[in-house]
């Protein structure tokens, strides 16, 4: 097993959970996962939503997800029967088939509002995850597009890749600002 690659996949996969919850809080509870790609260098997340996401909404999704990253909260995994998991509020993903026993992944705490102190994200999932949300490091959304009618896609980077992306954006902005001052 390539430990570095596995850790990057863990971070990106765990970030999809945080982004899913942030999208639902920002855009509405109609948001549901329609697909995803988790690779060592990036992630993409497809979800139901009828229109493009504004820059303000993208910023809010990033802020919400990164607030949970900064909590450095433990990521808890439990096995339970499917009915109990669903009654506890765990989200099941896009029509997947589940057995009688399911794996429930929980992470983060709600920071404010009527749900303050409650678990931020609870989903049925068999994937690999970080031990604590802080291990994700940073989540940076780098793209938003349409996939199909009523399905949007976000693309994101985590950890060192996200920091490198933001540093490159900052360098470009400074370069452009320098050119504008010359004129």
Distance between CA atoms of 183 and 143, rounded to whole angstroms?
Answer: 32
Mean pLDDT of 63-83: 94
How is 126-164 classified by DSSP, letter by letter? -S---SBGGGG--EEEEEEEEEETTEEEEEEEEHHHHHH
**Residue 125 φ then ψ, to 5°:** -165, 135
| DSSP element (H, E) containing 176 | helix 159-182
How many CB atoms are closer than 10 A to CB 98? 14
pLDDT given for residue 57 in this prediction: 98
pLDDT given for residue 183 in this prediction: 55
Q: Quick check: 120 pLDDT over 90?
A: yes
Report field, pTM of the whole predicted structure over 0.85? yes
**Residues near 124 by beta carbon (within 8 Å), at least 6 away in sequence:** 82, 85, 90, 91, 92, 93, 96, 98, 102, 103, 104, 105
Residue-wise pLDDT for 14-44, tens only, equals: 999 999 999 999 999 999 999 999 999 999 9
Distance between CA atoms of 63 and 128, rounded to whole angstroms?
Answer: 24
**Residues near 99 by beta carbon (within 8 Å), at least 6 away in sequence:** 82
Distance between CA atoms of 22 and 133, rounded to whole angstroms?
Answer: 14
């Amino acid at each position: 097993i390539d430990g570095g690659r596995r850790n990057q996949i863990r971070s990106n996969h765990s970030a999809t959970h945080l982004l899913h919850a942030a999208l639902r809080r920002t855009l509405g509870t109609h948001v549901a996962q329609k697909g995803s790609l988790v690779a060592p260098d990036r992630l993409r997340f497809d979800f139901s939503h009828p229109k493009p996401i504004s820059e303000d909404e993208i910023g809010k999704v990033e802020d919400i997800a990164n607030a949970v990253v900064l909590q450095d909260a433990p990521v808890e995994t439990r096995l339970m029967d499917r009915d109990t998991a669903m009654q506890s509020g765990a989200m099941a993903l896009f029509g997947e088939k589940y057995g009688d026993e399911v794996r429930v992944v929980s992470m983060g705490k709600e920071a404010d509002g009527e749900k303050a102190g409650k678990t931020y994200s609870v989903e049925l999932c068999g994937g690999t995850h970080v031990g604590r949300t802080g291990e994700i490091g940073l989540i940076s959304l780098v793209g938003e597009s349409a996939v199909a009618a009523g399905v949007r896609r976000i693309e994101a980077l985590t950890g060192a890749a996200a920091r490198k992306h933001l540093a490159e954006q900052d360098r470009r902005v400074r370069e452009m600002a320098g050119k504008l001052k010359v004129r």
